[in-house]
Structure 1
């Protein structure tokens, strides 16, 4: 890896997202190991770790030792539901794209303050990355909001959906899925599902879903394809599912 293989077709913000998912297992990872996982040079990993630290992600470690993410200590002044937090982030996304430089800057600092007080909950911990890492991260998240009603309905009513999905590598595919769980990571929503195309569990970033169609078909909970099976699958892997799908 010292030679510096480079990822092709993957933005830096997407790579940072992948690195956070790897580090979330609480284990110590060397720069060489991380570089091999995301296919970049160790020097790039050093820069990425510095960026994550500067963005408020609780990364500890240094060159020659390794890196890990620790649980942040937060003192949230109020408790927000995931729906309320989603609405707040959408509002900040809109303000962040304002033509008024002062208003846009205030939106940026507000986003950083939100990151600083995001509480831990019973779901996946906040990834804590976004506006400070990539100025268009909120816009990316907003791109997927239009699909949320259909996706939520699909999970609740066990509806078979067809999605058009653009992977991190740039591959666009049409997938027939059984949606089983929506998760919020502080900036990005993900949809976990049984994918008929891959014949296995996959986790999709909602902001990379291009279209969603209700097929009119429904599914019943089936052994090997249920939420409980998905949770067991995650535990067996020892880390969150691959978001590249």
Structure 2
């Protein structure tokens, strides 16, 4: 979690007006107690009305108001639909990001109830991907975002087994399948793999940089 996100989350905790111990916040945020004390000092120095002391606890003495966010009904509907889609089955991490986004937007809406992913005109009934696929999704996402090489065993649709090392470029969500497009170092060409047929998926310590002929745009140009 980025520090700015953690500071926002700490403010959210204090909004209930109760006394909170630093150790409890540290456990909730999965960081050290020293980090929480430093974060609270930062919030106090920036003017957030928090009183207390280390070892005893802290509480917010006045409500904190943020400028209202004016979104049109259509914009809210798009946001609600996007959050509902993500939370429908794309794994714990993305679901938590969706909830965090909802919390942040609600804080700055004139009325928090204006944002309700379950209220939209479009119902989301997409397939929930199995836990094993969600695990592969999370590793693959991290590999793409960090530009790390990915290694896995693959079973093709005709049951051929192979070991692959790829530069992952993009994950694609289809009706009932997730795929990843990448530059396959094993085959020396672009390949598309189904996440549900990947196993033993892990990030290698070796990263990669975009190279001409091996980028996603190169693949898309080839498939036009």
Normalising by the residue count of structure 2, what TM-score does the alignment of the two structures yield?
0.46
Query: Greater Rg, structure 1 or structure 2?
Result: 2
TM-score by length of 1: 0.42
